[in-house]
Chains A and B, each alone.
Chain A
Amino acid sequence: MNTADQYLKAIYLIQEMEDGPAATGALADMLDVSPASANEMIGKLESRGLAEHEKYKGVRLTDEGITRARDAIQTYCIIERFLANVLDVEDFRGEARELEAVIDDTVADRLDTIINRNPNCPDCFDADTDACRELEVECEPTAD
């Protein structure tokens, strides 16, 4: 997934959690980058018509930005599900976070031909846990 798509995904998830614009600081924290780097990328996303920056409030995705962000979340879901279900990786969330920058969406699409993904994807993605809700049920059954 390229860097722009990672930003779009992060902005989308923060918007969902906050029910409003994503603050630059929160975005920088989520991506583990400096606020200056976050601001620079926000400017690029704005110039491509994918996001709008509101002074003192943060950044909000345009409709086109939301579409791209949802595609990026699907790619991320494929990586998580592939790690959990095909490679049996216990810490599939942690490894997905590490690998997402190196796995292109065309590669994820091929991996998608061997996994059984939820048809509602990416609506099943839980922004708080950074993982697919269905996958959590399958992989981490609770004790009670």
Chain B
Amino acid sequence: MSVSHRVGSDHQLARLLQIGIVLEEVVEARAHHHYQSLDAERDLDPEIEALLADAAEESAAHRERLEAVIADLDAESIPFEDIETLVEAQYAQTKPEDFDGVLYDQLCNEETAYKFYDDLVSAIEASDARFSVDRARLLDTLRSIKEDEADGVEDVTKIMETRD
């Protein structure tokens, strides 16, 4: 057991980036499933439809940026199809029941991703390990993704407030 909040090696960094990729893939796949389930009920709300489309697109873009770093670390990414299958297998038990549930799920996605990148940036900053990727570029990438997630939290919160 380790109480150290630091990233100590390339291997550990690559593992954490893989987790980031999976989180993005979960967001993308769940947004897709929410969309399909709302579509099946023929009750699409344009605002939520746009939010889900944007979320899926943003997650895919984040995933590609993380994949580029992972490749430089000589590690492998996790194919989207694998995570899609896992999301699908568990979706029935974790599916939101209505629009409010979809919004809440989306808020949870954005907040979780923000917290993940925030912790990861802090753990890299606290580390004096030498990584085989450029540290400044790595931190720039992660901070920029973190800011996107912060904007995402704000966007979902605004929609939730206008629907109250």
Contacts and interface: CB of A to CB of B under 8 A. Distances in A.
Interface of A: 3, 6, 10, 30-33, 82, 86-87, 89, 95, 97-104, 106-107, 109-111, 113-116, 130
17 contacts: A3-B5, A10-B1, A86-B86, A87-B18, A87-B78, A97-B1, A101-B3, A102-B119, A102-B120, A106-B111, A107-B19, A111-B22, A113-B90, A114-B22, A114-B87, A114-B90, A116-B90
B90 A110 contact: no
A32 B1 contact: yes
Given A86-B78, A104-B119, A99 B12 contact: yes
Interface residues of B, number: 33
B146 to A, nearest CB: 13
B5 A102 contact: yes
Contacts, number: 89
Contacts of B15: 87, 89, 95, 99
A6 B8 CA distance: 19
A101 B5 contact: yes
**Which of B1, B94, B123 has the most chain A CB within a 10 Å cutoff?**
B1
Contacts of A32: 1-3
A82 B23 CA distance: 12
Contacts of A95: 15
Contact of A107 (B5, B87, B116): B116
A81 to B, nearest CB: 12
B119 A6 contact: no
Q: Is the interface of B mostly helix, strand, loop or mixed?
A: helix
Contacts of B1: 6, 10, 30-32, 97, 100, 130
Contacts of A101: 2-5
A95 B18 CA distance: 13
Given A3-B5, A98-B8, A107-B23, 20 more contacts: A30-B1, A32-B1, A32-B2, A32-B3, A86-B78, A86-B86, A87-B15, A87-B78, A97-B1, A99-B16, A100-B1, A101-B2, A102-B5, A102-B16, A103-B119, A106-B111, A107-B112, A111-B22, A114-B22, A114-B89
A100 to B, nearest CB: 7
B109 interface: yes
Nearest to A29: B1
A6 B4 CA distance: 11
Contacts of A82: 19, 22
B2 A114 contact: no
Interface in B119-134: 119-120, 123
B17 to A, nearest CB: 12
B163 to A, nearest CB: 23
Given A99-B15, A103-B19, A104-B116, A110 B4 contact: no
B86 A110 contact: no
